[in-house]
Amino acid sequence: MGTLYNMYSLQNLKMITNTLKLGSHFFISYKEEDEIEVIQSVYKYNNTVLLLKSDDCELFQNNQTYVLDYYEIDLDRLFSSDASSAYIYVSEKKQKPYSFLAHYLYFFWVPDGQIDKDNQKTLAYSTNVGKIMLDHLKKYLYFEKEIIVNNRLFMKFSQKRSNKRKPTDVVLLFGGIGDFFINYSVIYEYIKEKNKTVYVANKDKYNNFINSTFLEMVQLCFKEVKILELRDYNDYFWLYFVYEIERINKIFDLDSQSCEHMAMYYKNYLLGDKKFDFYKHNSVLQAEINERLKKEERSYIKSLLSDFSKNVGLQYFTGFLLDEESNYWDIRRDRKWNPQNVLGFVKVCRDHGINLIVLNSDSYDKSLAELGIRSISIPAYAYLISQLDFVVGVDSSAGHIASFFGVPSMTLWGSGSAVSFDGRTQLGYRVLRKNISIVPKTAISDIDYQKVFSLLEKALLGIIEFKEDIITYKDSQNDYLTFYI
């Protein structure tokens, strides 16, 4: 839990302390067979709740704690907008905790009138409550399982900690477009093997751009799943849930001896350690892409392609547009090839008779704005890449889609490399097959377009040969088709 709890600054902790002083802990006891009914009833009033079973009376020994019986309370009165009336009511109904193993719905509540509407405390209120509740429970209880009601997630806690890998109803998906193409067959296989509903959730639910494409990608790739509703789910609860699922299922179980590609960790999470073909079910998604491709977009893509020269795609940056008026982009991990190299590469390719198609429809720089294709749908984007002879780009979707279709590619790395990702030196995120990687000493701007063109030319002429097999993490460690500059 170290990383999770370190997210709070001293200022935030002070706000949490203030929130804690103003509120109270509420535990509503119920019979296990009525659990779904209890969740649905209370959720109408409060969506920040946890479930637990415990006979540890210390959990309830706090002068800010109220233990109530679900079958003897009026929820309208409990959640009355009149705070003083609500507290008088619960004081009358307050009980001692059961002496035997009991089930409780737990929430922390600050009466509306007690929240300072004029300071930052209110803005952080919901997340603060999530931390307060989990801090209170972690002294006594451990995460047991998730419960899904009406596509919404609820966590249940008990007194015994489980470290045993177990099936889960919720599949955590990496929300990037490229991630779906990397992990498609693994997820498809998992869904096919399950005999009940599978819920999927965007692991990175805080990224607005990824959220905007997540729904479209799920609908494109996995029609039969249900998407977990997380819009109003407590942020701190979600961080905790992701942490627990990763811990129990060892999604990124990195120790000093572990070195592996992200796709392999993800496969182990869903399918175990059995051998698996990462492109086993590609034909299913390929057929779906072809079916969804609009006639007009197909014609547009045809107009971009040449029948007489090599068709090469270039994705020279990736990022999120934060402000359209100022054209301000959030570009992480140095995934932005500089304009001088982009323009030089475009020119040298076209001078040598290569039909270069710039895959970006937007640009971080005005001098590059006219180079790219128009905005097209995700199925059209994938189809276009499937028609290319080669793809050059930063560590982003184009390379992974190319790999999915068996199109060779070249990755221009920024702050990462073929054997590291986001500062984690034991985790690979390289394109899975037919890939050349160029790793700069300091920054992506160090990668000269002439070097890129030289390698591209050799690949197109067959001087550089690609194996059909998956590029393993060990291959990358041994510098398979990796060039350092």
One domain for residues 424 and 465: yes
Query: Any residues with CB less than 8 A from the CB of 116 and at least 6 apart, and which?
Result: 122
Over the stretch 433-461, which tens digit does the pLDDT of each residue have?
Answer: 999 999 998 999 999 999 999 999 999 99
If asked whether residues 243 and 302 sit together in one domain, one would say no
Question: Is residue 37 included in any domain, yes or no?
Answer: yes
Give the strand pairing for 260-261 and 427-428: parallel
Strands of 373-444, DSSP E: 390-394, 409-412, 427-428, 435-439
3-class state of residue 394 by DSSP: strand
User: pLDDT category, 206, cuts 50, 70, 90?
Assistant: low
Residues 241 and 323 in one domain: no
Same domain, 148 and 221: no
Q: Domain limits at 109?
A: 2-158
Q: Is the domain of 154 the same as that of 184?
A: no
Any domain includes 177: yes
Q: What mean pLDDT value characterizes the chain?
A: 87
Domain end (from 93, 127, 158): 158
Query: Which has the higher per-residue pLDDT, 109 or 125?
Result: 109
Report which residue type is found at 355.
Answer: N
- For 139-164, what is the mean pLDDT? 87
pLDDT at 139 over 60: yes
> Is 279 contained in some domain?
no
Q: How many domains does the chain have?
A: 3
Residues 376 and 266 in one domain: no
Which pLDDT value is given to residue 57?
Answer: 72
Same domain, 241 and 131: no
| Residue 367's CATH number | 3.40.50.2000
Most confident among 7-16, 243-252, 264-273, 341-350 (mean pLDDT): 341-350
From 113, 135, 158, give the residue that closes a domain: 158
Claim to verify: residue 82 and residue 223 sit in the same structural domain: no
Region 4-17 average pLDDT:
52
* Burial class (CB within 10 angstroms; exposed 0-12, middle 13-18, buried 19+) of 275: exposed
**Same domain for 187 and 108?**
no
Q: At what angle do helices 378-386 and 282-292 cross, to 10 degrees?
A: 120
